[in-house]
Amino acid sequence: MKTGSQKTSAILASLLATQKLAVLSTYSAGQPYASLVAFAASKDHDCLVFATERDTRKFANILEHPRVAMFVDNRDNRDSDFDTASAATILGQARELCGRERDESLGLFLQKHPSLESFATASNCALIQVRVKTFVIVEKFREVTEVRLQQSAE
């Protein structure tokens, strides 16, 4: 991962390791759509994974338009957040994982969310990978750093 600074890298790593939930933004029929999802990040932070049932609006939206955004933050909903909270908007491409890739990523997901095992292993549950293209990290409400990942063409 290409980073703006070691401090930015540490903030991003902390957000991805400590936060269990993210807001997923998808798009369909001219409208954005936001959903709360439990997620896990790969060791090098170039992929995030989450589980969703296949009959959800978010899954249908991803099939139609795979470009997504995810938002992760550590706010406490207090005035002090303006000076202390950090957030990351994660832009990337989503796809359903199958076979060995699914099995490996499911292990990563369940390490962070063991209580969701019955949900994530259900037959109607898809495991979605978001391949990260860009992180936009905001600290102290106004300090913005953009980090673009170098990825090979697929």
Per-residue pLDDT of 54-93, as tens digits, reads 999 999 999 999 999 999 999 888 888 788 789 999 999 9
Q: Is the model's pTM score more than 0.95?
A: no
Closest among 107, 154, 152, 151 to 2, alpha carbons compared: 151
Q: Which helix (H) or strand (E) holds 38?
A: strand 31-41
Domains of the chain: 6-139 (2.30.110.10)
Residue 117 near residue 38 (C-beta atoms within 8 A):
no
Other residues' Cβ atoms within 10 Å of the Cβ of residue 90: 26
Q: Residue 2: is its pLDDT beyond 50? A: no
User: What are the angstrom distances between the C-alpha of 41 and each of 48, 56, 71, 77, 82?
Assistant: 4, 22, 13, 24, 26
Alpha-carbon span 146 to 90, nearest angstrom: 10
pLDDT tens, residue by residue, 119-143: 999 999 999 999 999 999 998 878 8
Residue 59 near residue 97 (C-beta atoms within 8 A):
no
Instruction: Check residue 8 and give its pLDDT.
Output: 79
Q: Chain-wide mean pLDDT for the chain?
A: 91
Average pLDDT over residues 8-37: 94
16 φ/ψ angles, rounded to the nearest 5 degrees: -70, -30
Average pLDDT over residues 5-19: 88
Instruction: Check residue 130 and give its pLDDT.
Output: 98
Q: Residue 3: is its pLDDT beyond 80? A: no
pLDDT band with cut points at 50, 70 and 90 for residue 150: low
Instruction: Check residue 152 and give its pLDDT.
Output: 47
